[in-house]
Amino acid sequence: MARRLGLHQEVLQVNVWRGNASGGKHCHYEVPSLESQTILDVVTWIQRNLDPKLSYRFACRVGMCGTCAMMVNGKPRWTCRTHVRKVLDNNTLTIEPLRNLPVIKDLACDMSEFFDKWDRAQGRFHPSKTRSDDVVRIPPTSVHRTQVDAAIECINCAICYAACDVVQWNPDYLGPAALNRAWTLVNDVRDNNQTVRLRAVSSDAGCHNCHSHQSCTTYCPNEINPTASIAGLKRATAKATLSGKI
């Protein structure tokens, strides 16, 4: 229930997970409700006014950098672009660190494994030309370019990774973001590392472990569809295997 404090100020009931790698618990705070308030505003208000030791991560505050993701009422969200009004449940917010990643402290997770998996999925571009070669002309309407366009706007926020049950069940699984990245490069006609990449995403931890249940797609704040990218990888790797290329 919304309580009123002082000058008709509505108050939000907020539970924030506090702790570190060895464990923690939820702490309760009361935060003034404001117009157009985001979850990140709430966390920042707590840190500035109630508990300066609260740790969390953010940078851009406009949905560009991908650092502010947290679990909000059980769902992974980019907190700088998530309005309190949209996710408030019975005037209560429960804010926790992202799922599927080890906690460093409070709401800040260790992202190393998430990014290591980008590397393991061969998420780096390997140029096939040098600076003295001509620029490759890629028509914006070409099939490959269209596939890249659909998947390229990833901000590395790990929301899809937190939403994926297979990552939870099988911690080695490369996960939706790294595989989505690999798919953009599989479609990059300038890249010359394709065989190695197709092998990497075909490993025991690769794209074939995806169950296509689409949690990643449901929660991706940039409306990317990693499930479709992974389906593309499954097709590409199956073809390459059957034709003896990998």
Q: Give the interface with ligand SF4 as residue ranges (CB under 6 A).
A: 154-160, 163-164, 166, 176-177, 180, 210-216, 220, 222, 224, 226-227, 230
Half-sphere exposure for 36 (CA within 13 Å, toward CB): 0
CA distance 179 to 189: 17
Closest distance to ligand SF4 from the beta carbon of 41 (Å): 21
Chain positions contacting ligand FES, by CB under 6 A: 58-61, 63-68, 78, 80
Distance linking the first and last C-alpha atoms of the chain: 60
Any contact of residue 212 with other proteins (CB under 8 A)?
no
# binding residues, other proteins (CB under 8 A): 15
14 vs 166 by CB, closer to ligand SF4: 166
Half-sphere exposure for 162 (CA within 13 Å, toward CB): 27
Closest distance to ligand FES from the beta carbon of 26 (Å): 23
Distances (CA, A) of 50 to 28, 35, 44, 228: 11, 20, 10, 44
**Which two tokens mark 226?**
């990693």
Closest distance to ligand SF4 from the beta carbon of 209 (Å): 7
Which does residue 159 touch among other proteins, ligand SF4, ligand FES, none (CB within 5 to 8 A, set by kind)? ligand SF4
Any contact of residue 166 with other proteins (CB under 8 A)?
yes
Which does residue 212 touch among ligand SF4, ligand FES, other proteins, none (CB within 5 to 8 A, set by kind)? ligand SF4
**Which two tokens mark 210?**
């995806």
70 vs 163 by CB, closer to other proteins: 163
| Ordered DSSP codes for 135-176 | PPP--TTSHHHHHHHHH-------HHHHH-HHHHH-TT---H
Any contact of residue 237 with other proteins (CB under 8 A)?
yes
Closest distance to ligand FES from the beta carbon of 239 (Å): 36
77 vs 234 by CB, closer to ligand FES: 77
Strands 92-96 and 9-20, by their bridges, are parallel
Which does residue 65 touch among ligand SF4, other proteins, ligand FES, none (CB within 5 to 8 A, set by kind)? ligand FES
Q: Is 9 helix (H, G, I), strand (E, B) or coil?
A: strand
What angle, 0 to 180 degrees and rounded to 10, lies between the N-to-C axes of helices 143-151 and 176-186?
160
Catalog residues that contact other proteins under the rule CB under 8 A.
Answer: 166, 169-170, 202-204, 206, 208-209, 234, 237-238, 241-242, 246
